[in-house]
Amino acid sequence: MLTLAISTSAGQFALILGEDSRIIFDSCDGEPAGGELDGLLSKGLHDCGKDIGEIAHIIVDTGPGGTSRVRTGVAFANSLSYSLHVPVCPVSSMELSGLDAGCRHHMPVVSSVKSIKGNAYVGFYDGQTENGMKIEYGRIEDLVPRMVAGVREFVTVGAHREMIARLPALKEKTVVDSGMQFGSARVLIENSRLFTGRGLLFPEIALPVTEQTI
C-alpha cells in the first residue's frame, strides 16, 4: 500500500512516499528536485517505479507554519485526494514535532510557532491527548505554564525554546531544549498507522490550522 506524506510547515515542502511504514522516497534526500509539489511527486513516483494510481492514503501536515506554504500544501493534498478518490489524513505540525521529539527524549513536548502581535501557536503533546496534541493560540507566557502544570519536565520544539526555558513560572521544572525547529517529515510515514484512520473523503477536506480552526 503506497502512502504519500506532505510536510508544509518547515522552510520548504517535503514529500515522502512509503509502503506501510517503510520510506521509499524522501524529497529531502540527495539533490533538490525543485520546490513545487507536483514536480516532487512526479520525481518520487518515477524514482520508485510507482504509479500515481497506487497511492492509497495522503497524509498532510496542516500547520501551523508559513501561511501561504501551508495553504498551498493542504490545497494540493485535498485536490489529489479528490481526483484519486483516496482519503486525505490531516496531521498538525505540532503533533508531528511532538511525536518526533517525544520519541527522542521520552517526555512530554511543548511546540511553538510564531504568529502576529506577540502571539503564538503552542502545542502540548503527551501521547494521551485526543489526536495526540492540544493546540492553543495566545501569548507564550500565559499558555505554556498552564499547559505544563501537571508535568515536572518537558522538551521544547520551535521558535520559542529559549524564551520558554527562561519563564519565571517554570523555574521549578526541567525544560529540555530539543534543538529542533520542526519535526521530521519522515515521521509522517514511520507513524502512518496512527494517521490513516482519520482519513477524510470529499466533501470533507483537510483544513489548515489557524486561530479559527483550533
Spatial distance between the Cα atoms of 103 and 110, rounded to a whole number of angstroms: 13
pLDDT of amino acid 144 = 97
Q: Give the up-direction half-sphere exposure of residue 179: CA atoms within 13 A in the CB hemisphere.
A: 2
| Residue 150, C-alpha cell as written in the block | 501537571
pLDDT of amino acid 213 = 85
Of 130-139, 161-170, 179-188, 191-200, give the lowest mean pLDDT range: 130-139
Q: How confident is the model at residue 91 (pLDDT cuts 50, 70, 90)?
A: very high
Task: Look up the pTM and report it.
Answer: 0.92
DSSP notation for 23-53: EEEETTSSS---S-HHHHHHHHHHHHT--GG
pLDDT digits (tens, 9 = 90+) for 135-148: 999 999 999 999 99
Spatial distance between the Cα atoms of 29 and 111, rounded to a whole number of angstroms: 25
Helices 37-48 and 67-84 cross at an angle (nearest 10°) of 50
**pLDDT above 70 covers what percent of the chain?**
95
Q: How confident is the model at residue 158 (pLDDT cuts 50, 70, 90)?
A: very high
Of 22-26, 29-33, 52-56, 133-137, give the lowest mean pLDDT range: 29-33
| Residue 190, C-alpha cell as written in the block | 514511520
pLDDT digits (tens, 9 = 90+) for 52-76: 999 999 999 999 988 889 999 999 9
Residues 6 or more apart whose Cβ sits within 8 Å of residue 33: 27, 39, 40, 43
Spatial distance between the Cα atoms of 1 and 9, rounded to a whole number of angstroms: 26
Spatial distance between the Cα atoms of 203 and 26, rounded to a whole number of angstroms: 30
**pLDDT above 90 covers what percent of the chain?**
84
Tell which residue, 64, 84, 61, 87, has the closest CA to residue 74: 61
Instruction: Over range 5-13, report the average pLDDT.
Output: 88
Q: How far lies 157's CA from each of 68, 130, 163, 184, in Å? A: 22, 20, 11, 12
Find the radius of gyration of the CA atoms of the chain: 17
pLDDT of amino acid 212 = 85
Across the chain, what does the average pLDDT equal?
92
- DSSP label at residue 200: B
